[in-house]
């Protein structure tokens, strides 16, 4: 099974700054990776799937990239509502699913 690791664990930034989050798989997952955003007290929300496709309603400032074992989620210019925890997810060994441990983006 492919294990997902995320870095950094916490990212402290200011509104308007660029955020770069990383997700690494222990073995190749091809292009089958998703990113979710979770705000305090809320359920997760799908942001990006198939590594780079924005889900319905995801703003254009969110960009996913990567393939194989290394993936990146970039938020080009942080808005106040973007401060949250971000998880990557993969279908590790069909039909099982794996989530990364998450990256917290908080206000500097």
Partner 1 sequence: QVQLVESGGGVVQPGKSLRLSCVVSGFSFSHYAMQWVRQAPGKGLEWVALVSSNGDEKYYADSVKGRFSVSRDNSENTLVLQMDSLRPEDTAVYYCARRNSDYFDYWGQGTQVTVTS
Chain residues that interact with partner 1, rule: CB under 8 A: 32, 34, 36, 38, 42-46, 49-50, 55, 87, 89-91, 95-102
Nearer to partner 1, 63 or 91 (CB): 91
Compute the distance between CA of residue 44 and CA of residue 38 in angstroms, rounded to an integer: 4
Cβ proximity to partner 1, 13 vs 55, nearer residue: 55
Minimum CB separation from partner 1 for residue 75, in Å?
19
Report the b/e string of 47-58 with b at 16+ CB within 10 A: bbbebbebeeeb
As measured in angstroms, the least distance from the Cβ of 1 to partner 1 is 10
Paired strand residues for 66: 71
- The residue whose two tokens read 């973007």 is 82
């Amino acid at each position: 099974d492919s294990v997902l690791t995320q870095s950094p664990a916490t990212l402290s930034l200011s509104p308007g700054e660029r955020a770069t989050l990383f997700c690494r798989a222990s073995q190749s997952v091809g292009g089958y990776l998703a990113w979710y955003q979770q705000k305090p007290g809320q359920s997760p929300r799908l942001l990006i799937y198939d590594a780079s496709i924005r889900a319905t309603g995801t703003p254009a400032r969110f960009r996913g990239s990567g393939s194989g074992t290394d993936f990146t989620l970039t938020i080009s210019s942080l808005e106040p509502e973007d401060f949250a925890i971000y998880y990557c997810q993969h279908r590790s060994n069909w039909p099982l699913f794996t989530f990364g441990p998450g990256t917290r983006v908080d206000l500097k």
